[in-house]
Structure 1
Amino acid sequence: MERHLRKPFQGVLNIIRFNWHFYVLAFALITSLFTITVLFPNHFNWIGYLLIIGIILGTTLSLVASYYIYDLSNLYSLNWLGDLTIKQRSELLNINAGFDETSYLLKQKFAGCNLTVMDFYKSAKHTEISIERARKAYPPYPNTMLIETTNIGLSAKSIDCVFVILAAHEIRDRQEQIIFFKQMKQALRADGKIIVVEHNRDIYNFLVYNIGCFHFFSPRRWKEVFKNAGLALMQVKKITPFINIYYLT
């Protein structure tokens, strides 16, 4: 199997590539504000300069944080799975929301296991243009199955480990989230596990992503969803201050 390695700066460059419209807008705002303050000098020019500095600092901070999370950290090395015991020939399931950066990496790490990949992306529900661009740039993993979050179609006690990496937050409705995880619970074998990786809606993510952090959910929300789905939370780990890993059974 061809080895898939992430390139330097791949994470932060993908963010710019798939969300370029935000950076064009930021540049347009900076240019407009600067032009206005130069052409129409007055006692309120300091407000314009303050806004310019704020836009530059906010944009720079989010990109630096993204580089730290997606390129410098061990998120995509999967080293944080070192304590996870997965036997040869185990049945693994990786579920994504339209943009899959982890299936090839999981297959490399657990080469002796059978990996099934599912995608619950629906263009009518997930309307972000960034996901559309990402899907065009990165073809799906071979034989990826398109699913409904409320009808995954898994047989009972058929899976040893499920991975949901940076995808579950795309399910916005609480009850839909519970149904989604209930199905995984039913599909787990006796010693099966579910690994969920998510950004947090917290002060750290707010400081670097501003209102973008409200696209994520709080750890409290996830713990309530897991509990209502009948799952036991065994452990919570962190990959940087911005991301939590939930180990469930």
Structure 2
Amino acid sequence: MGLKRAPFQGVINILRFNWHFYVIAAVLLLFALGLQIIAPFYLQSILFWLALLGITTVIFTLLVSYYIYDYSSLYQLGWLPNLNDKKVLNINAGFDETSEIIRDDFPNIDLTICDFYDSEKHTEVSIERARLLYPPSSNTVKVNAQNLPFKDNTFSVVIAMFSAHEIRNTEERELFFKELKRVMKEDGQIFVTEHLRDSFNFIAYTIGFFHFYSRSNWLKIFKNAGLRLVKEGKTTPFVSTFILHKNGATN
């Protein structure tokens, strides 16, 4: 596919958006190493191994992130069908990395870009930083995730990549998917790409995996919204894409 991301773009963005975590980790590391100098002998070994574990965890997380966001085929969006001559909704939560790629790959697409970011609900500082560094494009439509400004049965394809998990309230997330179902044509498809709260993401991100939702949680959300899972795939062991149809659709 055509448009290429910059080398190390994914890892660099992670560092830029979440630099406070790495500053805290560095301070704790320096504190542990400094404490080791004055600590009793029996504690020195413990502090050393704790510091080594911390360094290893940070490095491993960044290596996994490089693998996911820079090395793998994730942003080739290979799960998407041919979108030329189709009316498509791409909906994000304040940070859009895919619309430019989609436009480049499918020049005849009828693409609508929406952003449901709400500073009162979505309070993560990383999103604020992402928006400052990558402001929404001028043709992005600001929307309410529970009340999309589109008629029923408007879009053939709906794409929600790394966005739906930012709706932290379960009821609101269900309403969001009910809205996606409403604006999607009867024979349309929804593509939802997310990290999962599973063993792979725990190994990669330790307690950070709590920011994600489990597969069973997503399946419950889809079912309650009246959507049917027709296919599930993984670009890497760390990222899943769910392909959804309306219940009753036969395609």
Please indicate the TM-score interval, normalised by the length of the shorter structure: over 0.9
State the match for 2:36 in structure 1. 37
Normalized against structure 1, the TM-score is what?
0.94
Contact 1:154 1:183 in 2 (8 A): no
TM-score between the two structures when normalised by the length of structure 2: 0.94
Aligned to 1:72: 71
Distance 1:92 1:150 in 2: 19
Show the counterpart of 2:248.
Answer: none
2:175 aligned with 1:176: no
| Equivalent in the alignment of 1:48 | 47
Say whether the 8 Å CA contact 1:93–1:162 is kept in structure 2. yes
Letter in 2 for 1:222: W
Q: Distance in 1 between matches of 2:16 and 2:79?
A: 27
Deviations 1:87-124, CA, capped at 9 Å, x for gaps:
x3211100000011111111112210111011111111
Stretches of structure 2 lacking an aligned partner (at least 5 in a row): 246-251
Q: Deviations over 1:107-166 (max 9, x none)?
A: 112210111011111111111111111111112123111111111122111111000001
Is contact 1:74–1:80 with CA below 8 Å preserved after alignment? no
- Select 1:140's aligned residue among 132, 136, 145: 136
Match of 1:185 among 164, 181, 187: 181
- Partner residue, 2:219: 223
| Contact 2:198-2:209 at 8 Å conserved across structures | yes
Q: How does 1:1-249 map to 2 (within 5 A)?
A: 4-81=3-80, 84-86=81-83, 88-249=84-245
1:179-213 deviation line (CA, Å, top 9, x unaligned):
11111111111321100000000011001101110
CA distance in 2, matches of 1:33, 1:40: 10
Q: Which runs of 5+ in 1 are unaligned?
A: none
Determine the C-alpha separation between the residues in 2 that align with 1:109 and 1:137.
24
Determine helix, strand or coil for the equivalent of 2:213.
coil
Structure 1 segments of 4 or more deviating over 4 A?
none
Find the aligned partners of 1:241 and 1:202 in 2 and give their Cα distance.
10
Give the fraction of aligned pairs with identical amino acids, expressed as a percent: 45
Counterpart residue identity of residue 50, structure 1: W
Q: Give the superposed CA RMSD.
A: 1.3
Give the count of matched residue pairs. 244
